[in-house]
Structure 1
Amino acid sequence: MSAINCGGCGQPSTNKCARCKIQHYCGRVCQTNHWAKHKSECKYLYIEHALQRVAHILQDTFLKFLENTWNHPLDKVVTTPNETFLYLGTKTEETLIEFPHGLMDDEETKMAVLTAGPSVNPTALFKDLLEGLLKDLDVKVEELTVVLGTFPRRTRLVLPNGATSPGVSNPKHDLISLSSNKTGRQWVFDLCGSQVGLYKPFWKFEDYNRRYVHSIHHRRPLGLNRWMLSEHAKLKGYEGVNLALNFEASISMYEEAKLWETQHVPLTQLPTLPKDQFGETKASLLQALNLRVQNFFRSSNYNERLRSALAYQLVYPEQFKMEREQCAARCCAKVTQSLLESSH
């Protein structure tokens, strides 16, 4: 184990403060002498450590969810120093397919492929799980949309006809914003950052903002993305039914999380468990959630529902177009109202 310098005497040490799990000490004497200085930081570091754990739980859950809902053939994946190209195959039927692990050389490329969709999805799908894990940490949670300036990579789609998407350029990117109710310190969860080469899910806001953000687009209360997803999930065409299936799966997954709590520990306690308990307990939760999602899709009539949705679009194109426009108008009005309320 590598040593970090003791906060008291500066000598190498592998012992940690029992509460925050961050500050190192070589022994009780140094810890006692350093306590007056460390006390004000201990609570902050304790919360930050717990938030980092929550971010990784959510990222791991989201990536497995995306694997379980993979439904588009992929012929190959090509990486260059600054870009990842996804060569899409021809889709012949509406069905879930096994994620093509063999096309990717490393975990980071796999993460980029999985998160190539809208960054709003995890905020909408996992709101209940997020709130359950954060309940006791005394933080304010908001949905934050930023415009990225600089970022390490682009993820681009190559269609079966050879056309290539432009990739992301100054994209609006959805984050989860967290701030301490006591200190005002801020952090962000970026669960879709892999699509632009940002693979870790947890950041201090000032670091993320300085390095990658061109501008803040807007903040809004947690739950608005979920409301908009639920509105789109009411559409009778392919997009709506696909969203509805994912929405239903996320609800089923949270029901499993509540059941898991009764047999293990409350979700609120998971982020602050001792290190020797946390890894195994986290793995148990992730396994339970993963199995629940897999079982949901086995019994969801996935193929039939999507085929019916596509048929609806073909038979009633004008009705489908009108429904989409009405949904977009409702969502636009809701967002505008939310932004006006938050500005007061």
Structure 2
Amino acid sequence: MTDPTCALCGNPTSTKCGACESTTYSRYYCSKDCQVKDWPDHKTECKEHQILYLEKPLKRIAEIVQQAYYDFRMNTWDTPITRVVEGDSVLILQDELLRDEEKFFVKFPGHLTESERTKKTMLCSWIYKETTAWMYNLILGLVKGLDVKLEEATVDLGTISRMVTAFTPVGDRHDNWPDYFHNVLFVSSTKPKKKWVIDMAGAQYGIYNAFWDWTDYKTYYGVKVQAAYPFGTNRDLLKERAKARGNPFMTFGVVGIVAAQLDVAIEKWVESRGMSLAQMIALDEDAYEEAKKSLLESMDSAVSSYVATNDFDAEFKAAKDYERMNPGRSGIECQAIDAVFYKGR
């Protein structure tokens, strides 16, 4: 291996460009003067390497949190479905009446389709702010040490690859597009100046990749940003919604209780492995894949075991009774909660 030399004058040196050095790339200079003179030629390449250096861990984070959400949603499935009709641009679901069920959490009807993509679409259908709310601490641990800013963004998708239509037993039809907004995670870097998107629930619109360059995402799907809030806003909102009676208490309160088991599982995993989530992201490929698999299995096992051994029948019955006695009231309560929550934000 030859000794490093200055990129401008060729003199021997060991000083690197601090902005873009990594384990796979470095540009050397013998003096500040040489570095300044070389900057016009190095500027573009420097930014490209900074972006690549950030994108590798961010891609890993995106794939982990997306799969973790799929697993969590499968374990907390609450919508009985009797039939699935698959089309290229539309997925049709036939619902049962949830209030006729005795159990809030029911088995995910994966047997209704052999398509893994369709299963992912089902898991994400009508999911909005839940992704970053329930995955909050997982995301926080994974990004620790990265110089990035996180925002929870409400977006309007102008075009999609696939939509979902659900029919109730009484004939009501519900489409998840175009009258619904979508929620994604913005990840922004100042050095280099760059923005990405992590879309955990995009499968409901035929968007299966979790990690995107913001410009590409915006262009492909005709995205208009409605609002962007600091990371953690969705978690705080759902905690407030959980105070409403009826269905919101189950959807946000009980599911939030189950989501807390993710944090317990993560703490145990970190302790047993002797490494942080951020350290896991930096592992070489083979070690990373093994650790990722172990982490996901730990979270999945913790949630499935908790759901299997805890009975929410009384809470579910109370919620159904409230909805039956006060039709539409819980929705009004949630609207009032949202109005107070977002006032001044």
* Interval of TM-score (by shorter of Structure 1 and Structure 2): 0.7 to 0.9
Please tell me the residue identity of whatever aligns with 2:54.
I
Please tell me the residue identity of whatever aligns with 1:178.
V
TM-score (norm 1): 0.83
**Count of paired positions:** 307
Higher Cα radius of gyration: 2
Find the partner of 1:180 among 180, 186, 189.
189
Name the SS for the 1:268 alignment partner.
Answer: helix
Deviation at 1:226, TM superposition (A): 1.0
- Give the equivalent residue in structure 1 for 2:225: 216
- Give the equivalent residue in structure 2 for 1:93: 101
Deviation at 1:225, TM superposition (A): 1.0
Deviation at 1:40, TM superposition (A): 4.1
**Separation in 2 of the partners of 1:19 and 1:273?**
14
**Separation in 2 of the partners of 1:198 and 1:139?**
24
Q: Deviations over 1:199-250 (max 9, x none)?
A: 1111000000111134210111111111110011112312213321111111
1:147 aligns with 2:165: no
1:225 to 1:288, Cα distance in 2 relative to 1, 3 A: same
Find the partner of 2:147 among 117, 138, 148.
138
CA RMSD of aligned residues (A): 2.4
1:42 to 1:298, Cα distance in 2 relative to 1, 3 A: same
Question: Alignment identity in percent?
Answer: 28
**Separation in 2 of the partners of 1:104 and 1:198?**
19
Please tell me the residue identity of whatever aligns with 2:51.
Y
156-165 vs 73-82, which deviates more? 156-165
- Give the equivalent residue in structure 2 for 1:65: 72
Q: Deviations over 1:254-312 (max 9, x none)?
A: 12101110111201112221101011100100010011111221233222221122223
Deviation at 1:253, TM superposition (A): 0.9
Please tell me the residue identity of whatever aligns with 1:42.
H
Deviation at 1:20, TM superposition (A): 7.2
User: Contact 2:261/2:306 (CA < 8 Å) preserved in 1?
Assistant: yes
User: Contact 1:249/1:293 (CA < 8 Å) preserved in 2?
Assistant: yes
Q: Deviations over 1:59-115 (max 9, x none)?
A: 101001111011222112111121111111344313222212221121111111110
TM-score (norm 2): 0.82
1:76 aligns with 2:83: yes
Please tell me the residue identity of whatever aligns with 1:135.
K
1:160 aligns with 2:203: no
1:308 to 1:20, Cα distance in 2 relative to 1, 3 A: farther
1:147 to 1:262, Cα distance in 2 relative to 1, 3 A: same
1:282 aligns with 2:292: yes
- Give the equivalent residue in structure 2 for 1:329: 336
Please tell me the residue identity of whatever aligns with 2:297.
Q
**Separation in 1 of the partners of 2:162 and 2:333?**
36
1:112 aligns with 2:126: no
Please tell me the residue identity of whatever aligns with 1:149.
G
198-207 vs 269-278, which deviates more? 269-278
1:124 aligns with 2:144: no
1:150 to 1:292, Cα distance in 2 relative to 1, 3 A: same
1:304 to 1:212, Cα distance in 2 relative to 1, 3 A: same
**Separation in 1 of the partners of 2:331 and 2:162?**
32
- Give the equivalent residue in structure 2 for 1:11: none
Name the SS for the 2:277 alignment partner.
Answer: coil
**Separation in 2 of the partners of 1:154 and 1:52?**
25
Find the partner of 1:309 among 295, 302, 319.
319
**Separation in 2 of the partners of 1:196 and 1:130?**
23
Q: Please, which runs of 5 or more residues in structure 2 have no aligned partner?
A: 1-20, 26-40
Q: Please, which runs of 5 or more residues in structure 1 have no aligned partner?
A: 1-17, 24-34, 339-344
